[in-house]
Amino acid sequence: MANFPVVDMGKLNTEERSAAMEMIKDACENWGFFELVNHGISIELMDTVERLTKEHYKKTMEHRFKEMVANKGLESVQSEINDLDWESTFFLRHLPVSNVSENTDLDENYRSHLITSTVYF
């Protein structure tokens, strides 16, 4: 089994740009994802954004659960809970213009770290 693609962003400003772009194209067409290295985003910032993302989703799920129970009662919600897809998503865009500030359900600390991450793009 082949390893999934790893794209070195540092090569995009070198004579290896064409090969790096081809790797991105191949990864998108054949894998759907890739690991990006040498992008300049600190591990600390990535760890902070990951932690804040997990906290956001935990808080969102707890709130949804409490709303369901309050509206329907625990017993009538039980079978619904077992069948629910608890996925929750939001869409962030950084280019051409960031929309992070438009996501009003994100707390200020989380939003500020997401905005900080846009300076790398």
pLDDT digits (tens, 9 = 90+) for 21-75: 999 999 999 999 899 899 888 888 888 888 888 888 787 776 666 666 566 665 5
Q: Give the rounded percent of residues in the chain with a pLDDT score beyond 70.
A: 63
Q: Quote the number of domains for the chain.
A: 2
Helices (H), the chain: 17-26, 43-72, 74-83, 108-118
Same-domain status, 105 and 84: yes
pTM beyond 0.75: the answer is: no
User: Which residues span the domain enclosing 98?
Assistant: 43-121
Whether residue 65 contacts residue 88, with contact meaning beta carbons closer than 8 Å, is answered with: no
Same-domain status, 51 and 63: yes
Same-domain status, 33 and 53: no
6 strand-pairing partners:
35
Whether residue 97 contacts residue 89, with contact meaning beta carbons closer than 8 Å, is answered with: no
- pLDDT at residue 121, rounded to an integer: 46
Same-domain status, 75 and 113: yes
Whether residue 68 contacts residue 86, with contact meaning beta carbons closer than 8 Å, is answered with: no
Same-domain status, 34 and 85: no
36-55 CB burial, b ≥16 within 10 A, e <16: eeeeeeeeeeeebbeebeee
Same-domain status, 14 and 48: no
Alpha-carbon dihedral angle through residues 48, 49, 54, 55, given to the nearest 10 degrees: 70
Same-domain status, 48 and 34: no
Same-domain status, 66 and 120: yes
